[in-house]
Amino acid sequence: MTGEVAPREGAALPHPPAKGLRALGTLELAGLGEGLHAAAGVDACSEPLPQPGQVLVSRGLSASGGGCRGAAPPCDAPIPIKAARRTLLALAACALAAPALRAAEAERWFRTSDGVRLRYLEAGTGRLVVFVPGWCMPARIFEPQIAALSRRWRVVSLDPRGQGRSDVPTGGYEPTRRGQDIRDLLAHLGGGRVVLAGWSLGVLDALSYADMAGDGRLAGLALIDNSVGEGTPPPARPSTFFANLRRKRDETVRGFVRGMYRTPQDPAYLDGIAREAQRMPVEASIRLLSYPRPREFWRDSLYAVRRPVYYAVTPRLRGQAEAVAQRHPQPMVEIFETAGHALFVDEPARFNASMDEFLARKAAWG
């Protein structure tokens, strides 16, 4: 099935790719719950690869300035096999970071099974990876991934209902409908298996899809910086976030958007993201943060997926990452020690290289 197409010129972003491995995911923001924050890099000569199921915290490659620093090991001695593999991954990251023609990007639309018109961005050809953004965020937040990964893969980024340029319906801001929206998108896109990548609230939406549809269409799951219901729940604590959203929404959303990043961002970029994050009614945005599911639901949905899982998280989710690394049969877990919640924007080079590694070597496309 083909959707309506409006070709657009993709904005080149100052975010090249570099190397880092292994991942994790769920949501919670601004002190409302468990999810958020981490980052790192690579040293091919001094640091051994982790054993299967071990959490990797890498050190090294820099995404700054469009280049790739530290890709080659700073030593003249013969490189052990494991270190050589890490070096090859680092060099692959530099290849992703190198100037190249990016695939043409288009914006497209489809209708969900309940008649809502949703928009998505698409670029590249080949095997399919679909990104689902977080709470109130637009598809374009994944522009660094669209630009880099579309050189080898067919990359789609969804504007969920009420977000980006998609329709803003009165209802459907709950996990079952959001999971069905993803199912409708995959049916619209056609083809075989897909790697489904959710960030923040998108982690929960991706797990809602998996609970509903199973893992038959999945080549893998990438879950980016949200809780997956592992371990002991954090202690409940009072929060004024919902009250602030109702009383002073613009100020609250802008503060939230600024807090997603650890690296400096252009003020015009932050302003645009904050404006787009306020398209849906405020009560709908609050419903998105109040999914009526126990935290065990997300954990059980994750472990019901037997395909490979990449869980990329910041340090506050380290314990959950370690649990996923031990309990899931095919984990790739990475801690971003110094990145913010939008770790794929703070460290796009490293994240893109890790995603490329997951897509090329881990995902079960067969």
* Lowest mean per-residue pLDDT among 45-59, 141-155, 349-363: 45-59
The mean per-residue pLDDT over the stretch 312-320 comes to 98
Phi, psi of 159 (to 5 degrees): -90, 100
- Spell out the CATH class of 4-231+238-362: alpha beta
pLDDT tens sequence across 187-197: 999 989 999 99
Confidence of residue 234 (pLDDT cuts 50, 70, 90): confident
Predicted confidence at residue 48, as pLDDT, reads 36
Predicted confidence at residue 93, as pLDDT, reads 54
Whole-number Å distance between alpha carbons of 310 and 321: 10
Question: In this structure, which long-range contacts are made by residues 64-71, counting pairs with CB atoms below 8 Å and at least 24 apart in sequence?
Answer: 66/14, 66/16, 66/97, 66/99, 67/16, 67/94, 67/97, 68/16, 68/18, 68/93, 68/94, 68/97, 68/98, 68/349, 70/41, 70/42, 70/43, 71/18, 71/19
Helix (H) or strand (E) holding 183: helix 175-189
The mean per-residue pLDDT over the stretch 263-282 comes to 98
The mean per-residue pLDDT over the stretch 91-108 comes to 65
Confidence of residue 86 (pLDDT cuts 50, 70, 90): low
* Cβ atoms of 127 and 326 closer than 8 Å: no
* Cβ atoms of 165 and 119 closer than 8 Å: yes
Torsion of CA 181, 187, 190, 193, to 10 degrees: 80
* Rounded percentage of the chain residues whose pLDDT exceeds 70: 72
Whole-number Å distance between alpha carbons of 79 and 68: 20
- Tokens of residue 211, six digits: 């609970």
Whole-number Å distance between alpha carbons of 338 and 315: 8
pTM, to two decimals? 0.77
The mean per-residue pLDDT over the stretch 329-337 comes to 98
* Lowest mean per-residue pLDDT among 59-73, 93-107, 137-151, 303-317: 59-73
The mean per-residue pLDDT over the stretch 4-33 comes to 34
Whole-number Å distance between alpha carbons of 220 and 356: 12
Whole-number Å distance between alpha carbons of 328 and 222: 13
Whole-number Å distance between alpha carbons of 292 and 237: 19
Q: Quick check: 100 pLDDT over 70? A: no
**Residue-averaged pLDDT of the chain:** 81
* Lowest mean per-residue pLDDT among 87-91, 162-166, 300-304: 87-91
Whole-number Å distance between alpha carbons of 165 and 14: 24
Predicted confidence at residue 263, as pLDDT, reads 98
Domain positions in the chain are: 4-231+238-362
